[in-house]
Structure 1
Amino acid sequence: MAALASTRRVPRLACCLSASCSRYQSLQPRIRGQPQTRRLLQIDASPRARVPEFAFAFDIDGVLVRSSDPLPRAHKALSYLQSQRIPFVFLTNGGGKHESERVEELSAKLDVPIATSMFVQSHTPFADMDEFKHKTVMVVGGDADKCRVVAERYGYTTVVTPGDILTAYPTVWPFSNHLLQNYVAFSRPLPAPIDPASPSTSLKIDAVLVFNDPRDWGLDTQIIKDVLLSRNGILGTLSPKNGDPSLPNNGYQQDGQPPLYFSNPDLLWAAKYHLPRLGQGGFRAALEGVWTALTGGAKQNVELQKIVMGKPHQPTYEFAEKRLIAHRREILGQRQEGALAPLKRVYMVGDNPESDILGGNSYRSPHGTDWASILVQTGVYVEGTTPAHVPRKIVGDVWDAVSWAVAQEKWSANP
């Protein structure tokens, strides 16, 4: 399954939606020079105030920041929108940290107050996968064990990482032995041993969640491969159904193996280096190549069965639109559903034609809202080339995107 099916329940973001919540207010003193008595978004509740019928969704890397550095006119763009009470949310395929931590960092970098209700990252939907919260999940990717910590904050009670397995059984992947001391610093004891002679007491994985870009591709590929070829997700076993032509998928992933989730489909992303770098989508492509070599792939009617979340897939945009509608009601002082006319248009501002632009172009809003894609030249897209997916508009940077959009909407206040 190449994408999260549209019939799947769109997850609920476990975060604050109220501008009066303590988390939201706690951001105020962190913005330099801002007195604590200042209201967060300077809301004008006057009934005569003009109500914007448009909003924005911003990618982050390559649009607002480049690696860890804020782009020059990002603060100007967001501050203008807040001053005009024009709602926006952040929709990123990045991750690796809890939403509250990412919000705090981004708020400090951009010098703009941000609430967690405005922030959707690639693995945010994992927070609502309650069916796995009290089972054993394997979390893959990220720096050290930060993604494990995020999973635990989401409510997962038993989380294993490939580093835990390597530390307990160094022979599982001998090519990372030189990294053992690094893994020892953050690994934890396994909840059960790997003992194929006693499957009932051996370590069993119930779901594999790729939270963020893997750092040790070889180790992670090896362990995921072992899980997917196992019987019932029990490490150290090998399913007798593998390669059985009488079964669907030639018998692969037909013996109770756990589902495999990827949170981010991006092949490339914009980092500090002048050329785009491989992202989580690169790891997925590499894993699929190994899987094809092992199973015969399409020639044997075998695919790597997986669930991919993040942009450009429909459920991610539905999720973001719900956050945007709720945030719009909040900043406009209309807390009751139906008190505002529906949004006419959302401008999706991104740097990656394969995720931001494709997602904005193909998304079909259940509310009838038009999503207009704007491609900026500060990230993955290379000026002068023809993007694989054509946006509504190509501009220089995020400030140009905002300026063009408000002009299209004939918004009276000049940016």
Structure 2
Amino acid sequence: MAAVAGPLRSIDGVLLHVSKPIPGATEVLQFLHDYNIPFILLTNGGGKHETERVRDLSEKLGVPLSTDNFVQSHTPFRELLEGPDSLRDKTVLVTGSDYEKCRAIFKEYGFQNVVTPADIYAADPTIFPFQPVSTFTAPSQPLPKPLYHPSTSPTTSSVPSPSELAPYLKIDAIFILNDPRDWALDTQILTDLLLSHGGYLGTYSAHNGAATLPNRGWQRDGQPRLYFSNADLLWSAAHPLPRLGQGAFQAALAGLWRRVTAGAAELERTCIGKPFGGTYRFAERVLARHRSEVLRRLVAGTAAAGAATTTTTTTGRRREGGEGEGKEGEAAGGGDGLKTVYMVGDNPESDIAGANGHVSEDGAEWVSVLVKTGVWREGRGAKLGGEFKPRAVVDDVKAAVEWALRREGWRQGDWEGKKLS
């Protein structure tokens, strides 16, 4: 076969369940590692920096992993640091399961001015006239600029001038990194910002509800852009039934926005994570770079060992005397890029739909494989039709990799007794 890479695989429900390895997961990863089959881990999870998450996964799974082949839900946000619209030096609001950890992640990414809902609440407790969940609001830091406080209740006819607003805090973008814990506080602050003039809390846009403007003026006055890292409505946890995820928070905010705008506007936001195309394009670039590095190490190792009669196929299989087992028998280091990518996941609405809908910029074939160890169960959940229909449904990740190997022409004996069976 020509260059075949993969699988890309989800984590919760595919490799782990409640922080414990699913049977066969460790053996599968070790097999892929030992046979130099390039793969990445692609998850809608988040809330930790990539280095911390990879370290935790390596310990739990007992397999060496690195950030080079790991993509979590908010990893692609790093791309917003570059380009003409860079947010590197802008002020961004981040929220998630742990405000301070969210701040630390974004600081480590390179965002210079990061605030949290806890910072805003500490600066002005009247912004939320209820008792917040103190566990999440207690840690706070001073705001980089003070909040604007209008002398009277703001209206569409009382928008302050730019010079009046210049000394005050302006939020340029809002990021939801992972599942928020204090939905009430977060929803209040996010709604205030989406109704504001230019991202200044305490203001109300003159464009709101204007019939002559696109979207009737809602979110048309320099309000901060809203980014979600994960659209999963449900996820697999310790409870027997799936639990609500970040997608549920997004749905709640969108429903509230329809009420606030009297049904005149849908909430405008940017969603990444599975199943959205931007995340799959990002993941394919990461996989391609990782594959190139795997092949580079193989070629360097072969040259150093002087192995004149042993080469490696683009999937990492050894072949003796130059006789290839694949369809084309191309040696490692060949010029071809990715040809086939296997997406192994447990959620039809994110993993399977995303893989089925992804159009590779380099023409790679994406093959979706659904496992039964996570969100999806037979007789419960999404029907496996249309965009949710996988190429194969198997019991677990071990069966998924075996299915992929057979599809690529590997004989049973190629992996029997090699940590996979």
Determine which of 4, 10, 20 is the counterpart of 1:59. Answer: 10
Residue 51 of structure 1, CA deviation: 7.9
Residue 342 of structure 1, CA deviation: 2.7
Q: Secondary structure at the match of 2:130?
A: helix
Q: Structure 1 residue 394 and structure 2 residue 357: aligned?
A: no
The answer to whether the Cα contact below 8 Å between 1:196 and 1:202 also exists between their aligned partners in 2 is: no
Q: 2:279 — aligned with what?
A: 316
- The one-letter code matched in structure 1 to 2:24 is R
- The one-letter code matched in structure 2 to 1:168 is A
Q: 2:145 — aligned with what?
A: 192
The answer to whether the Cα contact below 8 Å between 1:329 and 1:340 also exists between their aligned partners in 2 is: no
2-structure distance, mates of 1:97, 1:118: 16
TM-score relative to the length of structure 2: 0.82
Determine which of 143, 156, 166 is the counterpart of 2:111. Answer: 156
Structure-to-structure mapping, 1:237-252, within 5 angstroms: 237-252=203-218
Q: Structure 1 residue 296 and structure 2 residue 250: aligned?
A: no
1-structure distance, mates of 2:292, 2:269: 36
Q: 1:405 — aligned with what?
A: 404
Q: Secondary structure at the match of 1:330?
A: helix
Determine which of 147, 167, 171 is the counterpart of 2:122. Answer: 167
Determine which of 356, 378, 381 is the counterpart of 2:376. Answer: 381
Determine which of 126, 134, 137 is the counterpart of 1:183. Answer: 137
1-structure distance, mates of 2:379, 2:403: 20
Q: Secondary structure at the match of 2:375?
A: coil
Residue 333 of structure 1, CA deviation: 2.5
Runs of 4+ in 1 over 6 A off after TM superposition: 334-338
The answer to whether the Cα contact below 8 Å between 2:192 and 2:201 also exists between their aligned partners in 1 is: yes
1-structure distance, mates of 2:37, 2:333: 18
- The one-letter code matched in structure 2 to 1:291 is W
The answer to whether the Cα contact below 8 Å between 2:123 and 2:147 also exists between their aligned partners in 1 is: no
Residue 181 of structure 1, CA deviation: 6.4
Determine which of 89, 97, 100 is the counterpart of 1:134. Answer: 89
- The one-letter code matched in structure 1 to 2:350 is S
Residue 359 of structure 1, CA deviation: 0.6
1-structure distance, mates of 2:355, 2:367: 6
Q: 1:286 — aligned with what?
A: 252
1-structure distance, mates of 2:90, 2:5: 42
Q: Secondary structure at the match of 1:105?
A: helix
The answer to whether the Cα contact below 8 Å between 1:55 and 1:343 also exists between their aligned partners in 2 is: no
The answer to whether the Cα contact below 8 Å between 2:89 and 2:112 also exists between their aligned partners in 1 is: yes
Structure-to-structure mapping, 1:219-368, within 5 angstroms: 219-297=185-263, 300=264, 302-333=265-296, 339-368=334-363
Determine which of 176, 181, 189 is the counterpart of 1:210. Answer: 176
- 1:197-230 deviations in whole A, cap 9, x for unaligned? 4522222101111111111101111000000100
Identity of aligned residues (%): 51
The answer to whether the Cα contact below 8 Å between 1:77 and 1:399 also exists between their aligned partners in 2 is: yes
2-structure distance, mates of 1:296, 1:338: 59
The answer to whether the Cα contact below 8 Å between 1:381 and 1:387 also exists between their aligned partners in 2 is: no
Residue 180 of structure 1, CA deviation: 3.7
1-structure distance, mates of 2:88, 2:3: 40
Q: 1:19 — aligned with what?
A: none
Q: 1:370 — aligned with what?
A: 365
Aligned residues: 361
Q: 1:40 — aligned with what?
A: none
- 1:375-415 deviations in whole A, cap 9, x for unaligned? 01111101245335110000111111111111111224124
- 1:83-105 deviations in whole A, cap 9, x for unaligned? 22111001111111111111111
